[in-house]
Amino acid sequence: MTIIVFGGDGFCGWPTSLHLSNDGHDVVIADNLSRRRWDVELGVASLTPIATVEERLAAWEGVSGRCIEFAEVDMLDADSVAELIDRHRPDAVVHYAEQSSAPYSMIDREHAVFTQTNNVVGTLNLLFVLAEVAPTCHLVKLGTIGEYGTPNIDIEEGFIEVEHNGRRDVLPFPKQPGSFYHLSKVHDSHNLAFGARVYNLPVTDLNQGVVYGNATRETALDPRLVNRFDYDAIFGTVLNRFCVEAVAGHALTVYGNGGQTRGFINIRDTIRCVQLAIDHPAEQGDFRVFNQFTEQHSVIGLARLVQRAAASLGLETRIEHVDNPRVEAETHYYRASNESLLALGLEPHRLTETEIRSLLCSALEWRDRIAPDTLVPRVTWRRPAQRLAAT
Ligand code: USQ
């Protein structure tokens, strides 16, 4: 197949692109390289040193003999997106090209507006281009399981059967997202569900959980292929952060009581899920939703797992319950379904002690690059727009 990966230079997009290329597909990466600019804006950096996109692609060709084309495209520029789709006529597009951090979206008005404009308008542009230029192309879109929030009932995959006043229907599962970022994904899902229906497009929305790890089989083939490993308080996800905190001798920063429970997934399963979605495409006019996570954990449970694995490596760690910078339930029911991808053949990597030890060893390898200042959460949900208040 010919597959365009929008956002193919980012944390999930880069290993996905390599994996699909390794699987024999013709892969094109479309990316505006904004993820690298946000590092500069925030004064943070990946724990692993990231090669330029040109170096990455040359290294991949060197080790695999396969070429991945790169196009610097901003999804807000619909003409460029249309030109790219028209030129390649892809069988599938994978869409990761969004601002992916909840804290980033909560910095202030400007960052909230940017996140929603970038994500929602970019997705709308792609939807319209596909409808006009490539209506049989399968759109695989990365959403988030955080769209559902933490309801006091089981979370289904996108839809729920409801009985009301004696009548029954299957309706979109209620959404209670926890940040302007998560809201942007909700808006995307609504636009995609509507667009798939009226333009008869095949769409898969992957509601992904919190990703951990950074390396995949392909990224390990050459140092220039190494993937990002974010650990700062804006872009780092919780388990990766705990591993870096453990090797930095920093307390594990559990927000609040740590009872927050989420779905988690290894980056190696992320790329496999996307591959499964592509191999088993949605029908024309179908908007299907898969919950993409493999196991559930509470934040305090994860901290204890990291503490135990760290101890086995001789690292002393301390858990600190810091004031929760977010507005979120800390004690709640959580049980989400993830049957669709398992039914398609996903064989999950489990979060064993060995797996956490291997994450800790990756962090140890780059210990000298840790900037402890960036571990401390500075964005709070409760006090928006400091800049606005000052004006
Ligand atoms: N948390 C801590 N300590 C930390 C960092 C986070 O206790 O040092 C807690 C948060 O309060 C939250 C949970 O850990 O309750 C998860 O936070 P996170 O930063 O790992 O993940 P989140 O902000 O929810 O977002 C991440 C990705 C996002 C993706 C989402 C999936 O950045 O792109 O969509 O995970 S989900 O959370 O399932 O919506």
Radius of gyration of the chain (CA): 20
Assign 3-class secondary structure to the chain.
CEEEEECCCCCCHHHHHHHHHHCCCEEEEEECCHHHHHHHHHCCCCCCCCCCHHHHHHHHHHHHCCCCEEEECCCCCHHHHHHHHHHHCCCEEEECCCCCCHHHHCCCHHHHHHHHHHHHHHHHHHHHHHHHHCCCCEEEEEEEHHHCCCCCCCECCCEEEEEECCEEEEEECCCCCCCHHHHHHHHHHHHHHHHHHHHCCCEEEEEECEEECCCCCCHHHCHHHCCCCCCCCCCCCHHHHHHHHHHHCCCEEEECCCCCEEEEEEHHHHHHHHHHHHHCCCCCCCEEEEEECCEEEEHHHHHHHHHHHHHHCCCCCCEEEECCCCCCCCCCCCCECCHHHHHCCCCCCCCCHHHHHHHHHHHHHCHHHCCHHHHCCCCCCCCCCHHHHHC
pLDDT at 385: 54
- Average pLDDT for residues 46-61, to the nearest whole number? 98
Q: Across residues 207-218, what is the average pLDDT?
A: 98
| pTM across the whole model | 0.97
State in Å: Cα 236 to ligand 1 middle. Answer: 8
Asked whether residue 388 carries a pLDDT value surpassing 60, the answer given is no
Residue whose Cα lies nearest atom 26 of ligand 1: it is: 210
Provide the pLDDT confidence category of residue 383 given band limits of 50, 70 and 90.
confident
Among 98, 119, 214, 238, the mutation site with the greatest number of ligand 1 atoms within 8 A of its Cβ is 238
Top mutation candidate among 237, 260, 332 for ligand 1, by most atoms within 8 Å of CB = 237
Residue 237 has pLDDT above 70, yes or no: yes
Residue 141 a catalytic site member = no
Q: How many CB atoms lie within 10 A of CB 323?
A: 8
Q: Which of 96, 104, 181, 334 is catalytic?
A: 181
- pLDDT (mean) for 187-200: 98
CA-377 nearest atom, ligand 1: 8
> Which residue from 35, 95, 119, 144 has its CB within 8 A of the most atoms of ligand 1, so it is best to mutate?
144
How far, in whole angstroms, is CA 377 from its chain's centroid? 20
Tokens of 145: 């399981």
Provide the 10 A C-beta neighbour count for residue 382: 9
For ligand 1, the distance from its centroid to the CA atom of residue 171, given in whole angstroms, is 27
Query: How many angstroms does the Cα of residue 103 sit away from the middle of ligand 1?
Result: 9
User: What's the average model confidence in pLDDT over 229-255?
Assistant: 98
- Residues linked to residue 206 through DSSP beta bridges, in sequence order: 142, 290
Q: What spacing in Å lies between the alpha carbon of 183 and ligand 1's midpoint?
A: 14
> What is the domain partition of the chain in residue ranges?
2-375
CA 263–ligand 1 middle distance (angstroms): 10
If you average pLDDT over residues 139-163, what whole number do you get?
Answer: 98
Total count of residues recorded for the chain: 391
Q: What is the pLDDT of residues 86-128, one digit of tens each?
A: 999 999 999 999 999 999 999 999 999 999 999 999 999 999 9
Q: Is the pLDDT of residue 374 over 80?
A: yes
Catalytic annotation, pick one of 115, 144, 317, 374: 144
The confidence score (pLDDT) of residue 386 equals 54
Residue 390: pLDDT above 50? Answer: no
From the candidates 16, 148, 150, 185, give the one annotated as an active-site residue.
185
Coil, strand or helix at 244: helix
**Residue 389 above 70 pLDDT?**
no
Residue pLDDT, tens place only, 326-356:
999 999 999 999 999 999 999 999 999 999 9
Please state, as a whole number, how many other Cβ atoms lie within 10 Å of the Cβ of residue 389: 9
pLDDT at 387: 45
Distance 367 CA to ligand 1 centre (A): 23
Point out the ligand 1 atom lying closest to the alpha carbon of residue 236.
19
Q: In the prediction, which pLDDT does 280 show?
A: 98
Residue 199 scores a pLDDT above 90 = yes
| Active-site residue flag, 175 | no
What whole-number distance in Å separates Cα of residue 23 and Cα of residue 25?
6
Which residues surround ligand 1 with Cβ inside 6 Å? 100-102, 144-146, 182, 209-210, 237-238, 241, 253-255, 260, 262-263, 299, 326, 328
- Superfamily assignment of 2-375 in CATH? NAD(P)-binding Rossmann-like Domain (3.40.50.720)
CB atoms within 10 A of CB 256: 18
Interval between CA 250 and ligand 1 midpoint (Å): 19
What's the rounded Cα separation, in Å, for the pair 119 and 124? 9
| Protein residue closest via CA to atom 8 of ligand 1 | 253
pLDDT tens sequence across 278-307? 999 999 999 999 999 999 999 999 999 999
Q: Which two tokens stand for residue 332?
A: 């709640």
d(CA 374, CA 368): 14
In this predicted model, what pLDDT tens digit does every residue of 172-187 receive, in sequence order? 999 999 999 999 999 9
Segment 202-220 mean pLDDT:
98
Give me the mean pLDDT over the 125-146 stretch: 98
CA torsion angle 58 59 65 67 (round to 10): -40
- Stretch 247-256: mean pLDDT: 98
Nearest to 158 by CA among 134, 184, 192, 133: 192
User: How many Å separate Cα 9 from the centre of its chain?
Assistant: 13
pLDDT in tens, 11-33: 999 999 999 999 999 999 999 99
Contact 73, 65 (CB under 8 A): no
Ligand 1, atom 33, lies closest to the CA of 100
Region 30-44 average pLDDT: 98
